[in-house]
Structure 1
Amino acid sequence: MIIRQAELKDAEAIAEVWNAEIREGVSTFNSVEKSLSDIQALIKARGAGTQVAYDGARFLGFVTLGAFRGGIGYRFVAEHTIYLTHEAKGRGVGRALMAEIYDVARDQGLRVLVAGISGENAAGIGFHTALGFQETGRMPDIAHKFDRWMTLVLMQKKL
């Protein structure tokens, strides 16, 4: 497995995985798919803050860092997004991507990573717990998707 900084040529693979989750999953509350230009802009803007994993030519997944909240007081905090292909799950790809993004985050002077996870996403909560993230908040019925109200679980890890 190779993990490296995302390049513009990765945008289509990232969009495919992310948009599948937007359409079908509960890992994101977003219901508007990402365009290729959205992903390309993200790759350009975030630089090393977006990492991809490949097994040969086969795309496995990505992780990206984004602002947690606006304002200078949050400058040492980032929220991350991580998505894997179905085939990559349970193979250590997520752990490897997270290990890489920890290094990137530290290099950027970050101190804390935040995960915002759907309360329905037990696998996501379990994954982050296994990586040392701690639950720091629950916001019941905060988001609406698939004609139902969903809970947001906030987790964080000090780097």
Structure 2
Amino acid sequence: MSYKSILIDQLNACYNDKSWFIPLHEILIDLDATQAAGENESEQSIWSIVNHLIYWNEKWLERYNDEHVELDSSINNEDTFYLNRDAINDVEWKNTLQRLETVFHSWNRALEESDDLKLTKEIPSYFYAPWWGVVSNLCIHNAYHIGQIMLLKKQLRSIG
């Protein structure tokens, strides 16, 4: 088994393959914009967490595809949990879901087109971590937030 096949399996388990937990696509499919934007007591919403996942998956994918791209060290991680309160509608929610699907499919394509040499290459500006480790940790990050989203959805269902 190769790094590539393991990472593709991890990404798919996060987004669309039912495995140890319900995949993100299935969790989100029946939510409307109002439900997705509903906040809990810590002022987090499903939509803001999805935006956070999109942000980090897009940034790391951009860097994976072009290693000359550096991560913006000035970004405040809390800012990646944004939600535009003036654009809470089903059209914008569908656009957000499309971006999420696109980034997961793009990661799949990038990994499928990679060889193990790329995945073992170290990133000097990121603690000399190998790409396989970075992508694996990105999947763990995704799974962590998928758990949050599932809990928020359960809370939403118990209230409604």
The TM-score with structure 2 as length reference comes to 0.24
Higher strand share: 1
The TM-score with structure 1 as length reference comes to 0.24
Which is higher, the Rg of structure 1 or of structure 2? 2
Higher helix share: 2
